[in-house]
Structure 1
Amino acid sequence: MGLLYLAPYIVGLVVFTAIPFFASLYLSFTDYDLMSAPRWTGLENYVELFTSDRTFRRSLYVTLLYVFITVPLKLAFALFIAYILNYRLRFINFFRTAFYVPSILGGSIAIAVLWRYIFATNGLVNMGLGAVGIDPVNWFGDPVNALFTITLLRCWQFGSAMVIFLAALQSIDKSLYEAAAIDGASKWTSFVHITLPLLTPVIFFNLIMQMVQAFQEFNGPYIITGGGPLKSTYLLPLYIYDEAFRRFDMGYASAIAWVLFVIIMVLTLIAFWSSKKWVFYAGDKRS
């Protein structure tokens, strides 16, 4: 009976995850255009990626830059908002809901289109800058500004991480803060020496989840900038999409996808290895 209830999940896991996963591994060693049968080419796709594909190197650089900027900023902002919402304030439930909503809407096509209009030449942001005497900014025509716009959109979607931080903050024993206050500790000292160490397991969890999601970002760059200008926002998921569904080179796209998978796996393993030095769990005797 238990297997019967689990059957929909198991079937979905096998059909929509396991089979495509191993099929893409096989296709990464082939030349496959979706029309004819795959032709085995061995490591040819990978050799081309790392030796002669300048677009891949550029896209990889932009992707790593995007991840290493957005993930720390998003976690810091989520923790900051969660710390504020942990106080007993009037209408606190309304504010918690309002700050969580962007994480639900942020990944949608509609929000990406709205973001594009907000940062357009005659958009809301430039209108605000003009009101205070600042010249309009070409948000999408300059490589640095274009990357900033999609980075800002990613950081705006901090709601899920914020909720997890908020739950962790509410689980901290208040007597620890009371004892620290009696000893003369300031708010900042209590935050650094009590709050942050007790939050490290949650910080670690959010770090892994947000890093994986950032590497998979597609909607924002695709809708807002299309990967430009000068491929300054051309993340690897966009490159995979173009190779697979515009150039119909599914074998090459699969190779890029597996390189992306290996990068995520390596960074995740590094994070787990480093967690032994900075993540503290209840009952941990490390100082």
Structure 2
Amino acid sequence: MTRQERTAWLFTAPVLTIIVLVFILPTLLALALSVTDYSVYALASWSNLSFIGLGNFTALLTTPLFWRALGNTLLFALFGVPMAVGTSLLAALLLNEATVRWKPLWRVALFAPYVTSVVATAVVWRYVLNTRYGLLNYALGAVGIGPVDWLGNPHTAIPAILLFVTWKIFGYNMIVFTAALAAVPADLMEAARLDGASAWERFRHVTLPAIGPTLLLAAVLSIAGFFQLFAEPYVMTMGGPSQSTVTVLYFMFNEGFQWWNLGLASAVALILFVLTLAVTLVQTRLGRRYEWL
């Protein structure tokens, strides 16, 4: 190798090592465990470990709770990604206006939830949504609306968690969109304005194509985040009521660390990995096909 190549490998070696240890190696181990009946008995003695092939995957096909968790996860992603990306883009557009005052203060305030502990904020929101003494029901009572059991009703538990997750993560996308909007060529915007283009037309034909790659990145990161939703339903509802907020990651956690069915949990992890990869590839393909994405 040349000196430049050796230098490049030297600088990238730490990052590559982390990727191998944190991502590639655990993925291979999960793949290996998914075709075994690895459980608490195998922890005591490797002689209790057996190769079962696709047994864990076929068992999942006949497990109603897994399908319920998969449906809940897809539901969270279907409604959560547009909410998270849309609100963050709207906030970035508003903060990009020249007439807005105290922009740094607003950016810090909106970004703060993202860097705050998810467990701490989930506990706070659980009290805010409390049926008896929650702040939200107190505000509704002031306008004559009776208390709502936000986290105890299957019909309102998912919207309540969606609202919390959107509030929690949209600050990151907002900062990314703010940087992308700052890079939109000012001369193109001015030319469109002089040609009589409306605010919507300038956004549709100038701003949106310019921030297309950033929009695609935000969508990919958001859908990966919703597919890995765990702490929020775990802290706020414990998967209830009536298993209406159980997600795939929550189901995997229970199988692996509550019931010690580590082989089955590894199969769930592999399915979640394949699902996330497939959706990401579809999003990337759509982003390349349509220029405005």
TM class by smaller structure: over 0.9
Number of aligned residue pairs: 279
Deviation of 1:16 after TM superposition, in Å, equals 3.2
- Contact kept in structure 2, 1:201 and 1:279, CA below 8 Å: no
- The amino acid that maps onto 1:112 is A
- In structure 1, how many angstroms separate the alpha carbons of the residues matched to 2:238 and 2:263? 23
Q: Check whether the contact 1:204–1:279 (CA below 8 A) recurs between aligned residues.
A: no
Shift of 1:97: 1.1
| 1:223 matched residue in structure 2 | 235
Q: CA deviation at 1:4?
A: 6.1
Task: Measure how far apart 1:34 and its partner are.
Answer: 3.5
Q: Which amino acid counterpart does residue 31 of structure 1 have in structure 2?
A: D
Percent of paired sites with the same residue? 36
Aligned equivalents of 2:96, 2:175: Cα separation in 1: 10
Question: 2:109 is matched with which residue?
Answer: 98
Q: Does 1:144 align with 2:155?
A: yes
Q: For residues 269 and 101 of structure 2, what CA distance do their matches in structure 1 show?
A: 48
Correspondent of 2:165 among 144, 149, 154: 154
Q: Give CA deviations for 1:224-257 in whole Å, capped at 9, x if unaligned.
A: 0111111111000100000000000000000011
Query: Which residue among 28, 34, 39 is the counterpart of 1:33?
Result: 39
Aligned to 1:135: 146
* Deviation of 1:66 (Å): 0.4
TM-score (norm: length of structure 1): 0.92
Moved over 3 A (4+): 1-16
- Give the whole-Å Cα distance in 2 for the aligned partners of 1:112 and 1:118: 10
Q: Note the residue ranges of structure 1 that are not aligned, 5 or more in a row.
A: 282-287
Match of 2:213 among 201, 218, 233: 201
Residue identity in the other structure for 2:34: S
Aligned to 1:284: none
Gaps in structure 2 of 5+ consecutive residues? 1-5
The CA deviation at 1:138 is 0.7
With the length of structure 2 as denominator, give the TM-score of the two structures.
Answer: 0.90
What displacement does 1:280 show?
4.8
Q: Which amino acid aligns with 1:256?
A: V
CA distance in 1, matches of 2:285, 2:11: 37
User: Given residue 57 of structure 1, which amino acid in structure 2 is its aligned partner?
Assistant: W
| Matched residue, 1:190 | 202
Whichever residue aligns with residue 46 of structure 1, its letter is: F
Amino acid at match of 2:23: T
RMSD across aligned positions (CA): 1.7
Secondary structure of 2:69 counterpart: helix
Distance 1:250 1:24 in 2: 9
Are the equivalent residues in 2 in contact too, given 1:126–1:136 (CA < 8 A)?
yes
The answer to whether 1:117 aligns with 2:127 is yes
Return the alpha-carbon distance in structure 2 between the equivalents of residues 20 and 266 of structure 1: 19
